[in-house]
Structure 1
């Protein structure tokens, strides 16, 4: 080998070495850059340990681990039972016949609605599992269900008997002296819908203690830690792997109960009397799936929201429900009607979901509803690709009440609503993800011991008030169920878009919450500068910075969980 060849080889090796060094420098720099652009609450072990962040990744159909299925067997055509679109005649009786036929089908069943305009003037009750109500789409050439009359003109639903009695007994009224309004609450203010899932004969919500009946108790729960999956039970004879049951925790210690301290972390917030006035009413509840049983240790699929103490008298009880129910691909429309008053709704409600597990609502447009989609006692349901629109003032768009692990994804709100996005009484570990509110946005948390819910990668459009503030973080609900929420409610990557250009030297204050303890507010940003006032004891990070590397906390947590 010549000297010249050796020099050439050495020169080339030096070049290769330099490129390798440069490569590692770039990789190391990008790693640091990646690290620096993640919030510390998920990237710094010390910060994460000191500031608990719930795992929200179990929300949605099949705990987020599977896509919504496309059922293709046993398709029943509504037209075979007399449903004729676009003829201007009422299709209610024919639709009821079609549902009756679908209920007799073994295995999966799909009731296929035709394209065109259908007229509905009754409630369609969906009362079986493994059933899909499907239209031909929401766009041109799709299915429209037009509901010309509100439910107030229908026969009173038997399942709302207790609610009606409660409203009368406690004289629940909407009183607005300035508007000369003194009217009784409507049974449809937060319940009911033209499409209504239910387990026949099952009570959905407790309003009057005299109707309480003994629960089918499967086991007493002795111990369990917040964020973990293993609970210790008194016995396992009534439990099986695969069972979906309800975990209930009670306040048996009155106004100073330890469970109240656990929910609100002993902060200086006013706690309403309903937290201790009904000791037989579970104040925390989760619908849980049993994945393993080992002696007296039971493993549940999703983690506990709070630790279980002996004084909570925790128990696993039977939970009757439907599963694998789908509602998809159609539009529901109501006429344009004058607004009466809050809580005095006539019954133009689109969909009411009760007693559901591992189910879905997908690709639905709802126009001029008083409430688009209402929920009560459902778990692991995905509600996605929803549009609410119209000229009427709505009470709710898609609301979550008394539900667990529900995912509302890609909701677009074009209509004005009192509570555009709302977590209500007893709601836990639910997620609004990638939703957008175009009119008077409010991120409502509606009291009633709701806790550990997530607003994830939400976009809102607003005009600030004259004093350069906007009450984005609302806390609704009755005083007897205050405060507005429990600990660890989370806001992640909130995109705030102002309609008008303002003096960039003046930040806009986003406020509205004074009784929401220990919230996590991470990644509030937009087309202006903002300050966030959220009380008490909120953890704030990435204010005026988008979280570009992990725009969705739900997706980030789900990805990491599935990897394990």
Structure 2
């Protein structure tokens, strides 16, 4: 066993060791092996043939365009000819049916399609494909910037430490993934990567965001403000470098391409011509991943590739079980290879390459460059493997359990001088001859603090004079453990139990053999019991059984769980309270309730005299001959529907006349669109100068929860705020609300000033950003003048109507826009109000909410008594307009309205649930 590790890691101390803990490398921080995802669709559905003759490029392009934002595309067995680059900017995974069975065939080189050279390469006749891209390219984004900034580091730290002192703990919590970012000020950070044994290259002097180290927060500590990271720092941290802590992904910025890649297929290029040599590549480049994380490439065979895989500025990506073959003829002389690079990591962090096999020899089988750090190459073989650390400070990478084959040039081009930074480790490196060729180890100036353990032919430690870069050389024979990465992973208890490759999982599943149906009719709170026939239900692909397929950026992206009374205070759909009685209408105000006496005066006096509380109407029939209205937290409550009856013998037209003019519509009843006989009037100002807190400064996609603003002054965590956006007059916001322009919009509404009035709680915040408790239901674009406003409804809670019947005289319904004004209940700009267990008889309009937020209607019954009033019995049954997040459930409409249910005026986020009707008409009314 090595003196650096021992048999089971007992000699390893991250604080002092030359070794790092590489168990975090690869997909999902090394916690899991990559899964095998279930396909969303087959490329053959989009017209692919797969016969090796037909050009299937267009089918792939249509498929990639059609997949909305993420999904797995099945590529069934067959040979698919592709003649244009596939540039993938979505979270799309390509799943084959086995290498050799599924073949992606690229009959042309990139240079044949896109030209050999351009820009500066054109003047030097150098190929533009020596550094990428690939025929298959995944492009993401992973840029630390001011919008990802969380805190400054306020004290130095040493390699091996796990604690960082920070300027603020706001936005930091246990489990949060953060990134330490530092600049290479005056080249000093690069000097640190060289263990201060070699002078830094001037090429990267003063480079910003030069160092990037990603870890989860394990602990948050106060006095002083500190965070403990899950894993140890790989280098010292100096305040000279302006170190900062960033969010790695926050819904707006940071890494944006996760869970992508491909598996189980062959990538084939022509094998009829020899490789032209360095900088003469024609572009047989297979895969290029840029700014991608938590993705994987597995079970892939590369035939005749010049470059197999490039991982450029990627993090936690796994490449596993890949094979390189070639039938290309070989050139004699300087380029006797069949290609350039097999697997190339440049600027990559914490990636894993394992289980690789090179059945052909390339110029560099494994290449690492551009400050790549913390990566692992493990368990590979080849006919003549070259490991090239290609300059630009690769740091702290592990090469373990690798059989180099002939090992004729094991370290690449070593003559150029220092190739690598410090702490690169070579552990268990063997060759066919039992001796590394090409001079054994590279020159000592090749890299500082290199570690060689169990490398054949490296059994002699250099003298002190010849070891200015502090190399560690230990044992030339077999070493234990033979694969250091696997040993460290086992020591950390990884991998965790694999994620089941099922489409659905969790409570409610497991009832049928393919796990594609939910179990109903039994307790599924913990796990699905055995179901009997008839208890299976097929879940929607948009939601699944328990919401596991729901996506905030998908087709049903609104998070409706907060709808209804106190939807934010109690997690949504809170029980409507039965508040204590404040006054009794009979006892305290002399109402008769005998169905004959006019009780309007008594009820009006009670409303006027009661500042807040419940006005109780005992069982009886109360005759009312005037409109009832209040603007205070009053609940009108009876003894139950059918027991307490408010009878209105006269219509609004009978009582107040009718102009028969509404707006610009002559001949239209002024009561066609309100008001009611029972009116609760609040005030909820939106989009006013006095409600505005701050302006939004950055665009954000649907589903994001982070909103960037000018300032968060005046906002506190836990506060409800309103995102307000207006249409600029070009109908662009209206088009977005109509499915991104998929449906036409009326020019009448162009320029609407408050089309979006989204209310959410502030979960977290920094100086210039807010994290909302629920995701955005619509994207933010600066052209829509997005602003954050106070949510300040005047009437918020403790108001409503419940447990009674509203009864109008039976009359023939005169028709649309001819209403006499038998209008029931109207709530205007109320928050957290309700209508509960109310029946309304013979109404032109049942219940109307205008501008209401988090209100509820429960147990409403709309009926015509004793018979229907005509082909339609009224204008509108339930009408929601210009509000949001209300909940209407357990309703019964046992008569026909012209519009049984109406939503209008940019009402959003409201829910209708568990209702029934005679002939339900759902009207999305402009």
On the 8 A contact 1:253/1:311 being kept in 2, the answer is no
Secondary structure of the 2:344 match is strand
Larger deviation: 47-56 or 485-494? 47-56
Secondary structure of the 1:472 match is coil
Map of 2:93 onto structure 1: 132
1:144 corresponds, among 97, 103, 108, to: 103
Alignment CA distance shift 1:413-1:385 (3 Å): same
CA distance in structure 2 between the partners assigned to 1:281 and 1:396 by the alignment? 29
Secondary structure of the 2:5 match is helix
- Confirm or deny that 1:364 pairs with 2:330: no
On the 8 A contact 1:285/1:426 being kept in 2, the answer is no
1:484 corresponds, among 419, 424, 430, to: 419
On the 8 A contact 1:511/1:532 being kept in 2, the answer is no
1:455 corresponds, among 395, 399, 402, to: 399
Map of 1:250 onto structure 2: 183
Deviation at 1:77, TM superposition (A): 0.9
CA distance in structure 1 between the partners assigned to 2:40 and 2:411 by the alignment? 45
Matches within 5 A, 1:435-450: 435-439=380-384, 441-450=385-394
CA distance in structure 1 between the partners assigned to 2:13 and 2:114 by the alignment? 56
Deviation string, structure 1 residues 431-474 (Cα, Å, up to 9, x no partner)? 100011213x21211221211001010001116xxxxxx54223
Deviation at 1:550, TM superposition (A): 1.2
On the 8 A contact 2:307/2:341 being kept in 1, the answer is yes
Alignment CA distance shift 1:119-1:507 (3 Å): closer
Alignment CA distance shift 1:508-1:449 (3 Å): closer
CA distance in structure 1 between the partners assigned to 2:45 and 2:281 by the alignment? 35
Map of 1:412 onto structure 2: 357
CA distance in structure 1 between the partners assigned to 2:55 and 2:437 by the alignment? 55
Alignment CA distance shift 1:289-1:491 (3 Å): same
1:218 corresponds, among 150, 153, 167, to: 150
Aligned residues: 468
Deviation at 1:347, TM superposition (A): 1.7
Alignment CA distance shift 1:374-1:46 (3 Å): closer
On the 8 A contact 1:242/1:289 being kept in 2, the answer is yes
Alignment CA distance shift 1:51-1:358 (3 Å): closer
Deviation at 1:126, TM superposition (A): 2.6
TM-score by length of 1: 0.75
Deviation at 1:304, TM superposition (A): 1.9
CA distance in structure 2 between the partners assigned to 1:48 and 1:184 by the alignment? 48
Secondary structure of the 2:309 match is strand
On the 8 A contact 1:221/1:232 being kept in 2, the answer is yes
2:342 corresponds, among 382, 397, 417, to: 397
Alignment CA distance shift 1:214-1:51 (3 Å): closer
Deviation at 1:187, TM superposition (A): 2.9
Secondary structure of the 1:88 match is strand
Alignment CA distance shift 1:240-1:121 (3 Å): farther
Matches within 5 A, 1:67-216: 67-72=33-38, 74-103=39-68, 109-129=71-91, 131-139=92-100, 142-154=101-113, 168=120, 183-199=124-140, 202=141, 216=148
Secondary structure of the 1:385 match is strand
On the 8 A contact 1:507/1:531 being kept in 2, the answer is no
2:315 corresponds, among 376, 379, 385, to: 379
Map of 2:428 onto structure 1: 493
| RMSD of aligned Cα (Å) | 3.3
Structure 1 unpaired stretches of 5+: 1-37, 158-162, 174-181, 205-211, 464-469
Map of 2:369 onto structure 1: 424
- Confirm or deny that 1:333 pairs with 2:268: yes
CA distance in structure 1 between the partners assigned to 2:172 and 2:12 by the alignment? 39
CA distance in structure 1 between the partners assigned to 2:235 and 2:66 by the alignment? 45
Structure 2 unpaired stretches of 5+: 247-252, 329-337, 495-926
Deviation at 1:285, TM superposition (A): 2.0
Structure holding more helix per residue: 1
> Which has the greater radius of gyration?
2
Secondary structure of the 1:95 match is helix
Alignment CA distance shift 1:286-1:346 (3 Å): farther
Matches within 5 A, 1:53-64: 53-64=19-30
Map of 1:511 onto structure 2: 441
Deviation at 1:356, TM superposition (A): 1.8
On the 8 A contact 1:345/1:370 being kept in 2, the answer is yes
- Confirm or deny that 1:522 pairs with 2:453: yes
Deviation string, structure 1 residues 334-366 (Cα, Å, up to 9, x no partner)? 112333331232221111112222221110001
Structure with more contact order per residue of length (Cα contacts < 8 Å, sep ≥ 6): 1
